[in-house]
Structures are given as C-alpha cells and as structure tokens.
Amino acid sequence: MKNQIHEHLQDQIADVQHAAESWAPQHALTWAFERFGNSVAVSSAFGPEGMVLIEMASRVRKDFRLFTIDTEFLFPETYNLMDRIEEKYGIAIEKVYSELSPEEQESTHGAALWTRDPDLCCNLRKVEPLRRKLTELGAWITSIRRDQTSVRSSARRVEWDAKFGLVKINPIVDWTSKQVWRYIHDHDVPYNELHNQDYPSIGCTHCTRAVRPGEDPRAGRWPGFAKTECGLHIIEPVPTSPATDASKAAKFGS
Ligand code: SF4
C-alpha cells in the first residue's frame, strides 16, 4: 500500500518534471501554490538564495507560508533579518525547534556536541525538526542551487523527495550566485548583514566562520570537518509510517 501511494505520487511528478526544467522560477512558484494550496510552504535559512525566493514568492502569493528551522544557535544578524522579513512581507515565519533545548542537549549528549559530532548535532537540531514539520505538508519549496555542493548537483526543479516523502520544488535550481545577487540588488531585497563581512554562507554561530580570499564560498561552514551539508538536502530513501503515507495521499487527492 505504502509503495503504491508513493509510486502514484511519483508518477504525478514525473509528468511535469521534464517540462519544469524550462520553467522560470515564478512559473514554478505559481504551479506549486496552485497545485498544493496551503499544504506547500517555502523553507528558508535566509541566505541570499532564500531571500530571492521569498521576494519572488511574495509577488506570486502575498500570504505564502514560510518556515525556518531555528537551531537556537543562530547569529543575531539572522534573527534581525527574520524580524525585517516579517515586517516587509507582512507574514509570520513558522519557526521550528528541536525537541531538545540547548541545555537539554548538553545534559544528554555533553557540552559542545558540534565540536565532536556535528552530524548528530545537525540531526537533533535540524533534520528531525524538519522531518516533523514536513509531515504536515504535501510539498516544500527550497532555494537550493545545483552548483552549491556536489550533493545538490543532480537536483531537479520539481522532484520527489524520497527522504521525507513529499514533493520538493527548487525554483532557482539552475541559477548562479551572480544571478542571485543581481536579483537582490535589482529588487532591493533585504539580506543578512554578515554577507558584507565575508560570510557568504551562514549557519549556526558554532559552525560558521568568515572565508578568506580565494576560498570556496562554503569553506566557512563546519571548518575542520569534511562535512558540507547539514543533511536536509541529502538524497536517501527513508521509509515512512503507513499513517504518514495515508496523510500524504489525502493531501494529493489520491
Ligand atoms: S550547524 Fe553546528 S551547531 Fe548548528 S545544528 Fe549543525 S552541528 Fe549543531
């Protein structure tokens, strides 16, 4: 039953996937909002790509849903940007938290887990909260770009997310960083002040540093570790519960 439901949903996506590759970002957003209504939401950590997506989404649908994973370890500049977004776009960001407070994490897993096991820390503070959030959605919209990391190089504009069991829409998947920044300047889009201080990619305070001249833009993420992804966009098959599958099927009208 579970496989049949997933196969049916994947067939629906396969029907539009090829055509979607030539869609403009605004077309992808329009399709997503029309197809999924209130069961689709934009996911963002408020990097430059995310800000472009938020601006575009606001021009397609004023009351679009926007959520973020708040690890409780973010920079003050990131929290400040969230306040500016809520004011400019007139929306309330849906903030998703780990089930463990920072203090509970320390008492359970020891101090400064990110220095010993960043994968576990990201799993506790990002991946599991995201998994919980996505169970209430039929589709999510992200701002990943193919040239950001090797893991993202095969991403499609519209795809089935087997890891979380829902549709994933990546409107600017084929954009370059230059296009992103041109859009930001052309449309006066707000962005994180740290980008002006050599932080091209911004995550948690514990795991982000400024980059030096000539370094890869993501060299400042998890310095000292081979890690390049927090796990949100890694493709892997993960079984979901029958209840979750039934709920997904209802959202797709299957
Ligand atoms: S980025 Fe660092 S501090 Fe943030 S959740 Fe991952 S390991 Fe933990």
Has residue 221 got a pLDDT over 70? yes
**Ligand 1 centroid to residue 237 C-alpha, Å:** 23
Counting other chains too, the contacts that 116-120 makes at CB distance below 8 Å and 24 or more residues apart are 118/207, 118/222, 118/225, 118/227, 119/227, 119/231
Q: In which band, very low, low, confident or very high, does the pLDDT at 216 lie, cut at 50, 70 and 90?
A: confident
**Weakest-pLDDT range from 93-97, 126-130, 203-207, 236-240:** 236-240
Q: How far apart are CA 118 and CA 207, in angstroms?
A: 9
Q: How far apart are CA 180 and CA 107, in angstroms?
A: 41
Quote the percentage of the chain above a pLDDT of 90: 76
User: pLDDT tens digits, residue range 29-39?
Assistant: 999 999 999 99
Cβ–ligand 1 contact at 125 (below 6 Å) = yes
Q: How far apart are CA 42 and CA 142, in angstroms?
A: 6
pLDDT for 27 equals 98
Has residue 95 got a pLDDT over 80? yes
Closest atom of ligand 1 to 126 CA is 5
Cβ–ligand 1 contact at 207 (below 6 Å) = yes
**Ligand 1 centroid to residue 162 C-alpha, Å:** 24
Closest atom of ligand 1 to 118 CA is 7
Q: In which band, very low, low, confident or very high, does the pLDDT at 242 lie, cut at 50, 70 and 90?
A: very low
Closest atom of ligand 1 to 125 CA is 5
**Ligand 1 centroid to residue 157 C-alpha, Å:** 27
The predicted model scores a pTM of 0.88
pLDDT for 246 equals 43
